[in-house]
């Protein structure tokens, strides 16, 4: 098992954002995490990636305990996440955002500047080539030298996906990567994620997604959260016919309709 | 004072403040560390230089000692930035700057207290040496900022989360930025002391920090060339008014008071009409075929 979460608990004051969630993400699969707004999906991502401390439970990544590690340590072990609310560095260019994501760069250590001078230059050129090919893939090549701050919301989602591809971790944790992206491009990107990232690179994907169509297209397994608890787990087809899931989604929809009326 | 002396003084003091401003630009402009106590590097660098020289050390060993001490101080102060960011940390640094000055003011055994300390140094071609140091400081910050290390610093400027999520040890980068900034600030302070040949705690009021802030803001934060321009412009007002009293029908005291008004006005105008400074930060453009 690549990622194992056991009885994870996270409270915000009296609110039980995660109330004893246990789940597994198998190697070389796409696992979806769905649930109504406020069900704890993003909180789970934040706790797993080390951005929020937990109240209880354990997290294992490649059979090693990772809870308690800092976010950067977790990322260096090969678990990289994107954010639901874009965190791109807006004052540097699109291309620099990608170059930033390349892991283990010698040029990021000051004392290596002189002894590793040529190696750093070669590394940088290699990364540059890779970054440009990724930009081509996420359809941002024409904006390579543009400030990231000038991109639209959808383009920033693509940029965060591009950074992810550049970082090329063992586990991709994607928080709503398709929000605001046009549907044709979504399909193209999902195909790419399945074929290139999973089949060729052998990576694993753990994805938060609201769009059920996307979920049933790409996911091998879907986990449903509601009010900080796991209420269902199974193939996309099983989930769509699961009564508990339907109930929680319908209940939300009914209250929503009442509110809007 | 003759024109030659004025020009000589102007160039050296501007070059020294340019190094000082580069040190702030490295921390604030490039890495986003809002340091309101930059003067403590200037102060510690100057006093280390003065104490080392009175202890009998030569110029270069004293200078090296000043840089080492300031780099270490920067490293230590960075620990206060671990769980604190932005203006909260700025207030801490402001306080540290005052504490450092008050220590030198009240500990008479250390460096003469309020009476100050004089430096017996005579270095041939000192003006040229200062200019060489300024050029070196400029090249150093530029080389660092062009590197992948600099790229991470620019990212951290906007917040820690992205860099953390990509596996960058943000705190370690901040420590290094503070250390490099400290070394540069110390260099400026040491050269200042050696040039003035006498320093006392009055040279290190918090106002010095704000003068370098004015240089960075007016010149253009995040752009080292802009910082050099900022240093020149602010010094024209600061030093220029001191000498203009011979030529203008205003009393020296009034003019001295007015120069801070000029600098304040300059900051205001820059903020209103060129909020990114006179020479804004440039993006690095790569060839994408």
- CB of A105 within 8 Å of any CB in chain B? yes
φ, ψ dihedrals at A259, nearest 5°: -60, -40
B136 has a pLDDT exceeding 90: yes
Percent of chain B exceeding pLDDT 70 equals: 99
Q: Under an 8 A CB cutoff, do A80 and B167 touch? A: yes
pLDDT score of A254: 54
pLDDT score of B1: 57
Over residues B230-256, the mean pLDDT reads: 79
Provide the shortest C-alpha distance from residue A250 to chain B (in Å).
35
Report chain B residues whose CB lies below 8 A from the CB of A95: 286, 288
- Least reliable range by pLDDT among A207-211, B26-30, B67-71, B153-157: A207-211
Q: Under an 8 A CB cutoff, do B149 and A109 touch? A: yes
Q: Under an 8 A CB cutoff, do B149 and A132 touch? A: no
- CB of A95 within 8 Å of any CB in chain B? yes
Q: Under an 8 A CB cutoff, do A120 and B148 touch? A: yes
Q: Under an 8 A CB cutoff, do B155 and A100 touch? A: yes
φ, ψ dihedrals at A2, nearest 5°: -75, -50
Does residue B288 form part of some domain? no
Architecture of the domain whose range is A3-87+169-260:
3-Layer(aba) Sandwich (3.40)
Does residue B215 form part of some domain? no
Does residue B72 form part of some domain? yes
pLDDT score of A257: 53
Nearest to B162 among A87, A95, A108 (CB): A87
Ranges in chain A annotated CATH 3.40.50.300? 3-87+169-260
pLDDT score of B57: 87
Nearest to A93 among B147, B170, B283 (CB): B283
Ranges of H-type helices in chain A: 41-48, 71-76, 94-101, 117-137, 153-167, 183-192, 212-218, 236-240, 243-260
- CB of A31 within 8 Å of any CB in chain B? no
Task: Give chain B's domain count.
Answer: 1
Sign of the Cα torsion B191, B194, B195, B198 reads positive
Domain range enclosing B43? 3-204
Report chain A residues whose CB lies below 8 A from the CB of B155: 89, 92, 100
Does residue B160 form part of some domain? yes
Chain B residue with the nearest C-alpha to that of A96: B151
Chain A residue with the nearest C-alpha to that of B31: A91
Q: Is B265 helix (H, G, I), strand (E, B) or coil?
A: helix
Q: What is the pLDDT of residues B249-277, one digit of tens each?
A: 777 777 777 888 888 888 888 888 888 88
Q: Per CB distance under 8 Å, which residues of B are interface residues toward A?
A: 143-144, 147-149, 151-152, 154-155, 157-159, 161-170, 176, 180, 222, 281, 283-286, 288
pLDDT score of B35: 86
Tell me which DSSP letter residue A147 carries: B
Tell me which DSSP letter residue A200 carries: I
B37 close to B209: Cβ distance less than 8 angstroms: yes
Residues composing chain B: 289
Q: In Å, how far are B29, B39, B101, B117 from B114, measured between CA atoms?
A: 34, 17, 10, 9
Q: What is the pLDDT of residues B185-224, one digit of tens each?
A: 999 999 999 988 888 888 888 888 888 999 999 988 888 9
B277 or B64, higher pLDDT: B64
- CB of A80 within 8 Å of any CB in chain B? yes
Q: Is B135 helix (H, G, I), strand (E, B) or coil?
A: helix
pLDDT score of A82: 92
Rounded CA-CA distance B184/B141 in Å is 9
Does residue B78 form part of some domain? yes
pLDDT score of A116: 85
> Number of CB pairs < 8 Å for A and B?
106
Provide the shortest C-alpha distance from residue B285 to chain A (in Å).
6
φ, ψ dihedrals at A20, nearest 5°: 75, 55
Report chain B residues whose CB lies below 8 A from the CB of A135: 288
B232 has a pLDDT exceeding 90: yes
Residues of chain A under the 50 pLDDT cut? 261
Nearest to B166 among A70, A90, A167 (CB): A167
pLDDT score of A216: 84
Q: Which residues contact A132 (CB under 8 A, 6 or more apart)?
A: A95, A141, A144, B288
- Asked if the interface predicted TM-score (ipTM) of this complex is over 0.90, the answer is no
Does residue B224 form part of some domain? no
Report chain B residues whose CB lies below 8 A from the CB of A120: 147-148
- CB of A154 within 8 Å of any CB in chain B? no
> Quick one: tokens of B13?
């003091």
Strands A3-12 and A15-25 come out as antiparallel
Q: In Å, how far are A161, B100, B206, B215 from B47, measured between CA atoms?
A: 51, 11, 16, 24
Does residue B194 form part of some domain? yes
Q: Under an 8 A CB cutoff, do A89 and B167 touch? A: no
Q: Under an 8 A CB cutoff, do A72 and B170 touch? A: yes
A222 close to A215: Cβ distance less than 8 angstroms: yes
Burial status of residue B4 (CB atoms within 10 A of its CB: 0-12, 13-18, 19 or more): exposed
Q: Under an 8 A CB cutoff, do A89 and B144 touch? A: no
Q: Under an 8 A CB cutoff, do B168 and A72 touch? A: yes
Does residue B240 form part of some domain? no
| Residue A61: closest CA among A164, A173, A161 | A173
Nearest to A87 among B161, B180, B286 (CB): B161
């Amino acid at each position: 098992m690549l990622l194992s979460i056991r009885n994870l608990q996270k409270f915000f004051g009296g609110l039980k954002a995660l109330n004893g969630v246990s789940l597994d993400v198998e190697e070389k699969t796409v696992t979806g995490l769905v649930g109504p707004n406020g069900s704890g999906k993003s909180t789970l991502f934040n706790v797993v990636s080390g951005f929020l401390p937990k109240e209880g439970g354990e997290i294992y990544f490649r059979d090693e305990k990772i809870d308690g590690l800092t976010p950067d340590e977790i990322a260096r072990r090969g678990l990289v996440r994107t954010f639901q609310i874009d965190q791109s560095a807006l004052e540097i260019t699109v291309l620099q955002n990608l170059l930033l994501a390349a892991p283990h760069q010698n040029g990021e250590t000051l004392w290596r500047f002189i002894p590793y001078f040529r190696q750093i230059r070669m590394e940088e050129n290699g990364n540059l080539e890779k970054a440009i090919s990724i930009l081509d893939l996420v359809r941002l090549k024409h904006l390579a030298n543009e400030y990231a701050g000038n991109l639209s919301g959808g383009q920033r989602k693509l940029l965060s996906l591009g950074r992810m591809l550049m970082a090329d971790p063992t586990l991709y944790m994607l928080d709503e990567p398709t929000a605001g992206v046009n549907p044709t491009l979504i399909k193209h990107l999902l195909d790419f994620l399945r074929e290139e990232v999973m089949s060729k690179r052998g990576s694993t994907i753990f994805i938060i997604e609201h769009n059920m169509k996307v979920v049933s297209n790409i996911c091998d397994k879907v986990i449903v959260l509601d009010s900080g608890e796991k209420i269902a787990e199974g193939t996309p087809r099983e989930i769509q016919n699961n009564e508990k899931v339907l109930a929680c989604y319908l209940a939300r929809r009914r209250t929503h309709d009442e509110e809007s009326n | 004072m003759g024109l030659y002396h004025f020009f000589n003084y102007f160039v050296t003091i501007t070059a020294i403040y340019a190094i000082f401003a580069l040190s702030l630009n490295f921390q604030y402009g490039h890495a986003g560390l809002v340091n309101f106590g930059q003067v403590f590097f200037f102060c510690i660098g100057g006093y280390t230089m003065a104490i080392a020289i009175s202890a009998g050390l030569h110029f270069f060993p004293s200078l090296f000692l000043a840089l080492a001490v300031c780099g270490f101080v920067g490293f230590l102060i960075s620990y206060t930035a671990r769980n604190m960011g932005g203006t909260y940390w700025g207030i801490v640094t402001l306080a540290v700057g005052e504490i450092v000055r008050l220590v030198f003011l009240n500990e008479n055994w250390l460096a003469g207290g309020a009476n100050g300390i004089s430096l017996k140094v005579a270095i041939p071609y000192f003006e040229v040496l200062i200019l060489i140091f300024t050029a070196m400081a400029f090249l150093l910050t530029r080389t660092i900022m062009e590197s992948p290390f600099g790229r991470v610093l620019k990212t951290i400027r906007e917040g820690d989360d992205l860099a953390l999520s990509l596996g960058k040890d943000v705190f370690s980068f901040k420590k290094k930025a503070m250390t490099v900034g400290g070394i540069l600030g110390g260099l400026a302070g040491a050269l200042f002391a050696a040039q003035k040949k006498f320093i006392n705690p009055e040279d290190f009021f918090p106002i010095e920090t704000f003068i370098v802030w004015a240089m960075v803001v007016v010149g253009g934060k995040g752009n080292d060339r802009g910082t050099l321009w900022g240093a020149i412009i602010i010094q024209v007002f600061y030093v220029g008014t001191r000498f203009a009293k011979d030529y203008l029908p205003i009393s020296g005291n009034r003019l001295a008071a007015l120069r801070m008004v000029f600098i304040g006005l300059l900051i205001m105008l820059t903020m209103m009409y060129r909020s990114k400074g006179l020479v804004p930060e440039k993006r690095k453009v790569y060839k994408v075929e």
